[in-house]
Structures are given as structure tokens and as C-alpha cells.
Amino acid sequence: MGKIRRNERIGAMVKILSSHPNKIFTLNNFSELFQTAKSTISDDLVIIKEIFDKFKLGHIETVVGAAGGVRYIPGLFEEDTNFIEDICNQLSEVDRILPGGFLYMTDILFTPEVVERFGKILATQFQHTNPDFVITVETKGIPIALMTARALNCPVVVARRESKVTEGSTVSINYVSASSRRIQTMSLVKRSVQKGQRGLIVDDFMKGGGTARGLRELLHEFEAEIAGVGVIISTADPEEKLVKDYKSLMVLKKVDEIQREVIVEPSSWIRK
């Protein structure tokens, strides 16, 4: 490989850092990759930081210490607020009303570009909690959990409705669904969570909070800590959920099957 120009190094580092949110890269990593002095890499990173700040692409953070280096941290900007507003408008279309007063959202939850953006926005609210993993319940919560975990640079753990023999021994609990008041079961593979780890609960939808509370109780069986609870949509009713201090990106205010009306709005913290 011939001599690498500064603009080539900067372009490559921007791609590497932005593709690996919250992952620490040492100066040695880049110095060896580009066969360049660490002092030169430091100068390049100053330029990259200015670019990210100017164009609101996130933050470049220097991490000090023996294991230090530099990492990219996603940020929450006006463009993200506009994105959530646009999704709310899409979800408020009356043709999304399903029989029984349900709201069709599968197409949005399984669109990679949209879900990746959801995950990044959720991650901005929980990266300070330093979770060791993201946990969700199969199945619709999995894409959201994956993208949130990617932005936080941690793995995903999936609780199942029924245990699978191919995954080994599990821990199971019964919990009460807040909406149906029915007893349900969820299980988690024993080797997936270690004592003392911190888990971030992520799901696609919250009505009464029964599933989120079930996940909290399941993690308590592992003596794990709760880093937080994040969901894509929560309902305005009931106002009191079975879990506190959760973050939702949007609020479902109303679904009226008779009047053919849907109201979905960004959560208050999104608009701040």
C-alpha cells in the first residue's frame, strides 16, 4: 500500500467509527492500519470531531486510561425529532386500524432503515447507564433490541414464550399481562446472563407494562441489575404502568375503530 493521504485516512476513520458506535479504538489501531504516527492520527481525529459537531452527526469522544482511545457516540438532534414526527404521521393513518381497535405497525418495525434509527435514538437515552446487554421478548421486539444493542455496542438476549431444548437449561417465570390480566410465561437461558450484569429492557409496544415488569422479575432471578426500560410506542391509557421510569419514542393517544381516528404523537422528551 502506498502513502495514504490525509483525506483518505479521515474518510476511512469516519466510516470505521460511525459503523461501530460506542466501540473504543486505540490510536495504535489507526496508527498500524494507516502506517502513520499517533500524533498524526490525533490531528486527524480533531478534524473528524469538528466535522461531526458541525454537521450534527454525533460525538467523537476521547477515552482516557490504559484501555483508552476514541469512540463514536450517537447523538439526538433536530433531524431525529423530525424523523419521529414523520413516523407518527404514518402511524396516524386511518387505514392502519385493525379489527378490535389494534394498530398495524409491522411494516415499520421491520424496515431496516427505520428500525436502525429507532435503535440509535433509544441508545442516546441509555448509553450513560452502561448496559452489558439488551433484553427483549420474542418476536417483534427483536429488531428494535438488535439495533439498540448495536448502537450501544453490546449483545442481545431474547426471552422466549416457550423454552427451546436446543438452548440448554432455562429459568422460567409466570407473570400477569396488564392488558388481558392473563397469566403468561417467559423463559431465559441460564448461560445468557451473569450475576451482577446490567440489562436494558427494550420492546416495541407497552400498554400496561406487564411484559416489561415480567422481564424485570426474570432478570431478578439472575441477580442482574436493570439499566432501564425503552419502548417504541406506549399507550396514553392506562396512564399508570406497572413499571416506572421508562422511555418511549411515541405515545398512542387514541385508536377509535368506529370514528376511524388514530392519534400518535412523539413523547414529550423527544420534542425538547
- 6-73: CATH architecture: Orthogonal Bundle (1.10)
Average pLDDT by stretches of 10, the chain with 272 residues:
90 97 95 94 96 94 85 94 98 96 95 97 96 96 97 97 86 85 92 97 96 96 98 96 95 95 97 79
Helix H or strand E segment including 118: helix 112-126
Q: What is the SS3 assignment for 254?
A: strand
Which pLDDT score, from 0 to 100, does residue 64 have? 86
- Type of residue found at 1: M
Which pLDDT score, from 0 to 100, does residue 1 have? 63
Which pLDDT score, from 0 to 100, does residue 217 have? 96
Contacts of 146 (CB under 8 A, 6+ apart): 115, 119, 156
Q: What is the pLDDT of residues 89-118, one digit of tens each?
A: 999 999 999 999 899 999 999 999 999 999
Which pLDDT score, from 0 to 100, does residue 271 have? 84
Question: Hey, where are the domains in the chain?
Answer: 6-73, 78-271
Q: Which CATH class is domain 78-271?
A: alpha beta
pTM of the model: 0.94
